């Protein structure tokens, strides 16, 4: 199966990194939409239009499944799905399903401004009887993308003073960029369990019937940046992604 995956930048690559050698029979195409990064501060109209443009590209290369590896963009899943016959999978619903199996009545959530503002996580979880203690951590995206040299752990500690994460057992990483900062987050919250949205996607793919085959994926991963190929390549190496895989990074003008 040819699978298209996209995000505003590095975050979605952390999801892709968790999929390529777990569902290794598939071919993967990734779009890092750096030109419009960060998604977390864009308007609803901007995000929907951008999502539709990327989906149109994936249609042109005959992908059979599209994964929105971005929590902010996943808010608009239902709208985007109406514009394509290709199955589109977001990260929010699978993550909510996963959290509902944990037996908790409240969870922490760190996400971008838009994800927190839209309250999709909060409302879906509340419908299941689970409260949410949410915090906007858009500043962490800048650190992952190499646009800020500030300390992720210090910023998180300072900004979470009014939250009660220490009393909770689980924290949703409601932005896929945050998957790349797990060590820094654990420095601040050593006793909390981190919920990686990749786990929800894996469960959903299994439900869809994809064969779980753990081995090195021999298909070259096609990675595209809409802005800066060199910076994306350096960040892939910095975060030790796709160590055993062949991949190529090229520019995509959309």
pLDDT value of position 218: 81
- 70 catalytic? Reply is yes
Angle of helix 197-207 relative to helix 11-19, nearest 10 degrees? Answer: 40
Residue 147 above 90 pLDDT?
no
| Cβ contact 217:19 at 8 Å | no
Catalytic pick among 73, 175, 210, 241: 175
Using omega within 30 degrees of 0 as the cis cutoff, is the peptide bond preceding 120 cis? Answer: no
Active site residue 137: no
Which candidate in 70, 89, 180, 235 is catalytic?
A: 70
Give 40's pLDDT tier (boundaries 50, 70, 90): confident
Can you name the CATH fold of 2-90+201-251? Rossmann fold (3.40.50)
| pLDDT on residue 27 | 94
Q: Are 133 and 106 in contact (CB under 8 A)?
A: yes
pLDDT at 78: 95
Q: Which of 127, 126, 157, 125 is nearest to 139 (CA)?
A: 157
Distances (CA, A) of 152 to 20, 34, 94, 191: 28, 21, 27, 18
Distance from the Cα of residue 167 to its chain's centroid: 26
Span 96-101, average pLDDT? 94
Predicted model pTM: 0.90
3-state secondary structure of 226: coil
Task: Give the residue extent of every domain in the chain.
Answer: 2-90+201-251, 93-196
CATH topology (fold) of 93-196: Rossmann fold (3.40.50)
Any idea what the Cα angle at residue 186 is, between residues 125 and 176, rounded to 5°? 50
2-90+201-251 and 93-196 in the same fold: yes
pLDDT digits (tens, 9 = 90+) for 44-91: 999 999 999 999 999 999 999 999 999 989 999 999 999 999 999 999
> 204: part of which helix (H) or strand (E)?
helix 197-207
Percent of the chain with pLDDT over 90: 74
């Amino acid at each position: 199966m040819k699978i298209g995956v996209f995000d505003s930048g590095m975050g979605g690559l952390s999801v892709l990194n968790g999929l390529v050698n777990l569902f290794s029979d598939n071919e993967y195409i990734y779009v890092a939409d750096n030109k419009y990064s960060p998604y977390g501060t864009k308007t609803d109209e901007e995000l929907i239009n951008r999502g539709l443009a990327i989906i149109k590209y994936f249609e042109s290369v005959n992908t059979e499944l599209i994964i929105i590896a971005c929590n902010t963009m996943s808010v608009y899943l239902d709208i985007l799905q109406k514009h394509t016959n290709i199955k589109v999978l977001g990260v929010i619903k699978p993550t909510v399903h996963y959290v509902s199996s944990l037996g908790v009545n409240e969870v922490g959530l760190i996400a971008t401004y838009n994800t927190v503002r839209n309250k999709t996580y909060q409302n879906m979880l509340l419908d299941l009887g689970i409260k949410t203690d949410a915090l906007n951590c858009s500043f962490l995206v800048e650190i992952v993308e190499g646009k800020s040299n500030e300390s992720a752990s210090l910023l998180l500690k300072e900004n979470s003073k009014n939250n009660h994460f220490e009393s909770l057992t689980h924290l949703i990483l409601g932005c896929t960029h945050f998957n790349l900062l797990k060590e820094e987050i654990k420095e601040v919250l050593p006793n909390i369990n981190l919920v990686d949205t990749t786990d929800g996607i894996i469960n959903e793919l299994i439900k869809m019937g994809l064969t779980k085959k753990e081995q090195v994926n021999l298909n070259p991963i096609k990675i595209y940046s809409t802005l800066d190929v060199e910076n994306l390549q350096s960040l892939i190496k910095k975060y030790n992604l796709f160590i055993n895989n062949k991949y190529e990074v090229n520019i995509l003008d959309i």
